[in-house]
Chain A
Amino acid sequence: MDKIVRVNMSDLSSKTEAVPAEWLGLGGRAMTSTIVAKEVPPTCHALGANNKLVFSPGLLTGTAAANSGRLSAGAKSPLTGGIKECNAGGTAARMLAKLGIRALIVEGLPKGDKWYSVHIAKDAVTIQEETELVGKGNYELVNKVQTRYGKPVAVVSVGPAGEMKMLSANISVADPESHIRSLGRGGLGAVMGSKKIKFISIDETGVPPVMPKDAAKFKEASRIFAKTLLDHPVSGQGLPTYGTDVLVNILNEAGGLPTRNFTSGQYEAHDKISGETMHDTITKRGGVPTHACHPGCQIQCSQIYNDKDGKYLTSGFEYETIWGLGANCCIDDLDDIAMADHIMDDIGVDSIETAVMFGVAMEAGVLPFGDGKGVVRMLRDEIGKGTALGRVLGGGAGQLGRIYGMTRVPVVKNQGIPAYDPRAVKGIGVTYAMGTMGADHTSGYAVATNILSVGGHVDPLSKVGQIELARNLQIATAAIDSTGMCLFIAFPALDIPECLSSLIDMINAQFGIHLTGDDVTALGKSVLKIEHQFNLDAGLTKEDDRLPEFFSKEALPPHNVVWDFTPAELDSFWNF
């Protein structure tokens, strides 16, 4: 029986409700954004009692569908001041779905300074005071929680940064190896920390598997869907072999790899931090180059990266993190970046926001460009320990830029711009400007069509076709984010028609309904409009749908291009 679980931290109570009729067709991002828009006052303080933190598995999560195990989290963002949805792998989404929990809504704030954990099992939600793990990092926490329960329960937690309500704090989700995946962006860890929840554990013991209404139809659609993931060269070969870091060399070749705090589009040491180099290093040290971040992932773009002595150092070592500390901060030692990645996962900060912040901090003279050891020290001893400087750095790129009086501060809606320079990859620039989440490459990945020749080709250096491209991708992404699917299914979906049709067939077979492609597009549009309206009601304006001024004033080498969209062109994004 599907249900909604509410945890009220003001009186430490919980209750279970039937899923309201209007939420029945929702999952993932559609569910979290709908609930946040309906129940959170847009002008509330994001760290106050009126904000709510909502978790939701996708529509297909818990089923046998490949790559369907993403967990969405939503709230009002303390970083952007607007609505936020993040999604991540790990084991939590699948367990929530198996328990029939379509949404977990955390409300209110406790009185006093005590910390709590929330344990969710079959027919029981337990809120307990937590003392042992307060102040601990995520790696130790996951290990101790799973030891405490004597089994691999799912764990959703905040590190010290979340406890300190830093704007860059993320929420961690344990993966099948008890390593860390992240609900990364927008400071959702600060929201969880404000509610004094150190961790949520989930135990699926005693619940039956999720069964489709039409098992035969589901099985057939699931087979076709999985085959399209295998057949497409990106999801079937490129991502499993090299992980996402394979993008370093191609963005460098295209002149769109933001370097030295967004002052160049090419990095001379690109080869030292590339996916090819990382693959060789992992293999040489006995790591795992091809690894699944959640049960049922077939693409397996994650990896396990060992140090020089062959000991585990980090996993889920992504392009955006490596770009951010690599090219953007000019750190050319992959081991320093891997150590920094490990610490960011452990203390619980968003690796994109933090890397963009370090780029600004280096330009401001807080530490020199290229100082990998300095970054590691500041993460561990300043941010992780909450010193005065650590609190400044932990507030993200926008805050750091204001405090140091910088003008080259790459943020939109106060959220750091990732990994693709908007001047040289103009489609992703439109996504950064217009996205409801602040600068977020995953919300409409125009890089696919601008750079990677997936879903056709739109010239990255020209304005022509970019608004429409970004709009269509943002609509499709809002729909995919609602299914529980990993966004990387978009690569086959853009090129192989059976990918999307079999995905819709799986949803129909699962629920005994008759959605069409148009219905899915309508869902994506509706999610975007709900989110946009929340942002407007929260006080954001169309002037917030703009890139920082320096992008239109400073030409980016090697193509010497500037950001040249007019406000009217950008505003036309919303004409749908």
Chain B
Amino acid sequence: MKIKLRLYATLQKYLPPGTVNSETTLELPEAATIPDALGVLAVPMTLPHIIFINGRHVLRPEFSTRQLQDGDILGVFPAIGGG
């Protein structure tokens, strides 16, 4: 299956060179999890603080177990804030 992975702020350095708009497409096996997707780009699982799938928050207890579906958009942020 294919998903779109978006990495922001300090996580952008893990994106392949030449990435546009913070987004890259990943080819993953069926039932792949969030750590499987992040593992492709060697993003340490200690760094994500906020994770979205299709614009909805994934709660922290599900960071390591949540399975992805074909066409999902996975957005990942470190701890950030402003206001």
- A interface list, Cβ under 8 A from B: 232-235, 237-239, 241-247, 249-250, 253-255, 271, 275-276, 301, 318-319, 441-442, 445, 447-448, 451-454, 457, 459-461, 487-488, 491, 558-559
Contact = CB atoms under 8 A, between A and B. Distances in A.
B22 A452 contact: no
Given A250-B50, A454-B81, A276 B12 contact: yes
Interface stretch (B24-32, B34-42, B54-62): B54-62
Contact of A447 (B20, B75, B83): B83
B83 A488 contact: yes
B9 A234 contact: no
Contacts of B83: 244, 247, 319, 441-442, 445, 447-448, 487-488
A276 B22 contact: yes
Main SS of chain B's interface residues?
loop
A293 B47 CA distance: 29
A319 B83 CA distance: 7
Among B9, B20, B50, B75, max chain A CB count under 10 A is at B9
Contacts of A249: 8-9, 22, 77
B57 to A, nearest CB: 7
A238 B20 CA distance: 22
Contact of A255 (B8, B55, B60, B77): B55
A246 B21 contact: no
Interface residues of B, number: 24
Interface centre among B12, B22, B75, B79, by most A CB within 10 Å?
B79
Contact of A254 (B20, B52, B79): B52
Contact of B80 (A247, A457, A459, A460): A247
A276 B8 contact: yes
B59 A242 contact: no
B81 A239 contact: yes
B9 A276 contact: yes
Contacts of B18: none
A246 B80 contact: yes
A232 B80 CA distance: 10
Given A233-B49, A453-B60, A243 B55 contact: no
Interface of B: 6, 8-10, 12, 20-22, 49-50, 52, 55-57, 59-60, 75, 77-83
A451 B60 CA distance: 13
B21 A250 contact: no
Contacts of A445: 83
B5 to A, nearest CB: 12
Nearest to B54: A558
Nearest to A319: B82
B55 A246 contact: no
B79 A241 contact: no
A253 B81 contact: no
Nearest to A256: B55
B12 to A, nearest CB: 6
A250 B75 CA distance: 9
Contact of B22 (A243, A271, A488): A271
The 4 closest A-B pairs by CB, nearest first: A244-B82, A233-B79, A234-B81, A238-B80
B55 A250 contact: no
Given A246-B9, A249-B22, A271-B21, A452 B57 contact: no
Contacts of A319: 82-83
Given A237-B79, A242-B9, A253-B6, 13 more contacts: A234-B81, A237-B10, A244-B82, A246-B80, A271-B20, A275-B82, A276-B8, A318-B82, A451-B50, A454-B81, A457-B59, A459-B57, A491-B81
A244 B81 CA distance: 7
Q: Which of B60, B75, B80 has the most CB of A within 10 A?
A: B80
Given A250-B77, A253-B75, A453 B82 contact: no
Nearest to B21: A271
A247 B8 CA distance: 10
A301 B9 CA distance: 15
A133 to B, nearest CB: 33
Contact of A250 (B59, B60, B80): B80
A242 B78 CA distance: 12
A246 B12 CA distance: 13
B79, B80, B82 interface centre (most CB from chain A within 10 Å):
B82
A457 B56 CA distance: 12
A238 B8 contact: no
B81 A488 contact: yes
A301 B82 CA distance: 8
Contacts of B12: 276
A318 B57 CA distance: 25
